Amino acid sequence: MAVGTLTALPVPAPRVIDRRVAGGAMVLAPLAALPLAVLAGLIVFAGDAVGLFPVATAGLAIGAVALGSRGLHLDGLADTADGLGASYDRERALTIMRKGDSGPGGVATLVLVLIVQYGALAGAIVAGHGVVAAIAGVVVGRCVLSFCCARGVPSARPAGLGATVAGSVPVVVAAAVFVVAAGVASLAPGLPWWRGVLAVAVGYLVTGVLLARCVRRLGGITGDVLGACVEVGTAAALVALGS
């Protein structure tokens, strides 16, 4: 479920999707996204090796991750922005988010977040730790999913992906994912130990702000909200590593 939901890799569908499976998929999201993280890191490494401009390398790496996830999280980011910006009425906002098109608010948010990701990664490449930043950005952006699906976080709808995964991760497990992510990030080569920890903390902090806003305005999470949290968490982590 984790690999099939978060990447474009062809895998068999799970035989059963219940709360246990859904929660496990959210906890394993960082591992499921490792192929995308490695792909981004390899692109940055290859770009450095052939002398490609850092801005071009960053664009290729960000674009490859988007293609590797079928643009699912970017679509969620645009839909969430449209819903939050369109109306203070909860039901109308959720209706807007269910539509397949993107309004000006969604498009503007999508462009701005991608610019932040692209610019921050380019800065990390110039600073000499682009490979580490590319890998860490992708992984941290998926680590936050267990946080977003921790017990106590409600679903905005009675059905859909949000309803399946909302509250499916025990709080202690979500906290353990954060601790493990911070611990691994502290060992990132070429960076002081605190820099990796800072990237994880900033990614979680910014994601938490968006999550709180969505719970208050929409009544909980949806699949689109989870996608938005992935992209925002990735952007925040990259910014923390972007110099």
Q: Could you read off the pLDDT of 15-63 as tens digits, one per residue? A: 888 888 999 999 999 999 999 999 999 999 999 999 999 999 999 999 9
Lowest mean pLDDT among 59-63, 91-95, 195-199, 230-234: 91-95
pLDDT at 50: 96
Distance CA 243, CA 237 (A): 12
Instruction: Please report the sign of the dihedral spanned by the C-alpha atoms of residue 100, residue 105, residue 111, residue 115.
Output: negative
The rounded radius of gyration (Å) of the Cα atoms in the chain is: 17
pLDDT at 86: 79
pLDDT band at 161 (very low <50, low <70, confident <90, very high): confident
pLDDT at 10: 86
Token readout for 162 is 């949000």
pTM to 2 decimal places: 0.94
3-class state of residue 155 by DSSP: strand
pLDDT at 102: 81
- For residue 146, is it left (φ>0), alpha (ψ between -120 and 50) or beta? alpha
Mean pLDDT of the chain: 93
> Torsions phi, psi of 221, nearest 5?
-100, 155
44: CB partners within 8 A, 6+ apart: 57, 58, 61, 121, 125, 130, 131, 133, 134
pLDDT at 196: 96
112: CB partners within 8 A, 6+ apart: none
Q: HSE on the CB side for 174, CA within 13 Å?
A: 21
Distance CA 39, CA 180 (A): 22
3-class state of residue 87 by DSSP: coil
Say if residue 101's pLDDT is above 80.
Answer: no
Lowest mean pLDDT among 3-7, 143-147, 212-216: 3-7
Closest CA to 118 of 79, 74, 82, 80: 74
Token readout for 153 is 């976080």
3-class state of residue 66 by DSSP: helix
Residue with tokens 């990390």: 124
**What's the whole-number mean pLDDT along residues 77-99?**
86
Distance CA 22, CA 116 (A): 31
Single-letter residue type at 97 = M
pLDDT band at 215 (very low <50, low <70, confident <90, very high): very high
pLDDT at 151: 94
Distance CA 119, CA 128 (A): 14
pLDDT band at 166 (very low <50, low <70, confident <90, very high): very high
Distance CA 28, CA 160 (A): 20
**What's the whole-number mean pLDDT along residues 103-108?**
90
The fraction of the chain above a pLDDT of 90, given in percent, is 78
**What's the whole-number mean pLDDT along residues 91-115?**
88
174: CB partners within 8 A, 6+ apart: 27, 146, 147, 149, 150
The residues facing 150 across adjacent strands are 169
Distance CA 193, CA 122 (A): 21
Say if residue 13's pLDDT is above 90.
Answer: no
Token readout for 127 is 């600073």
